[in-house]
Amino acid sequence: MVGEAGGATAGAVTRRAERRAETVAEIKSLARQQLAENGTGGLSLRGIAREMRMSPAAIFRYFESQAALITALCVDAYNSMADSIHAAQDAGGPDPSRRWRAICGAARSWALANPSDFALINGTPIPGYHAAPEETGPAAGRIIATVASAYLSAIAAGAADPARSDVPPLAAGPLLVSMVADTELSDSPVPGVIINAWSSILGFLASEIFGSLRALVADPDTLFEAHVTTVMRGMGYEAVL
């Protein structure tokens, strides 16, 4: 009897957990719709509650504040992008140049398919919201770790030489060190090369998603490939495929 009662209780807990997870997923989905339709300043917990036929207060049983919901969305976006570029790196094969190019191509594909998520983590800051590094840092760090790993592997294989870049020796800042915990980033051009290169890729994507790049050039695909090539040369890659 005790075993049966315990099983029933466990089943009830599981069903509650499932229902909670479904509600959280629905709240996030509606929040993403708002961001896609109204931009980063258009998030409204009251509007989400109305869509879900809940009282505004009920939302706070799932997210203690609007900032908590935004943080959850940021973490999801970082992880989604990280998954995409990590998978692309693995699929890029052993050639270091192809692996870096694959990462950049995957980042672009993800950004174009998820413009509101890209805007959330790389666009205009949401008024009044400041992400706590301890909350978003691990997910964001997955992206930087993949980018850094690809470049450091290229250096180790002799396929890239940071000495050929124009970036001077720079010490890694505390955020980069915490994000790439398993890597020794010495006082060399490497930290600057990694951040300079990735910032350049994100800048291109921002101009494509938020700006008028697609109205300025007839073939943004070809321009992006040329941009990646330019970035790789600036990183000191020996062969740019």
Query: How confident is the model over 162-217, as pLDDT tens digits?
Result: 999 999 988 777 777 776 655 556 668 998 999 999 999 999 999 999 989 989 99
Question: Do 1-64 and 71-235 share a fold?
Answer: no
> Which pLDDT score is estimated for 1?
44
Please state the pTM of the whole predicted model. Answer: 0.86
Topology of the domain comprising 71-235 = Tetracycline Repressor; domain 2 (1.10.357)
User: Which CATH code of 1.10.10, 1.20.120, 2.40.30, 2.30.30 fits the domain covering 1-64?
Assistant: 1.10.10
**Ranges of the chain whose pLDDT falls below 50:** 1-2
What phi and psi, each to the nearest 5 degrees, are found at residue 237? -65, 135
> Which pLDDT score is estimated for 15?
83
d(CA 111, CA 115): 5
Q: Where do the domains of the chain lie?
A: 1-64, 71-235
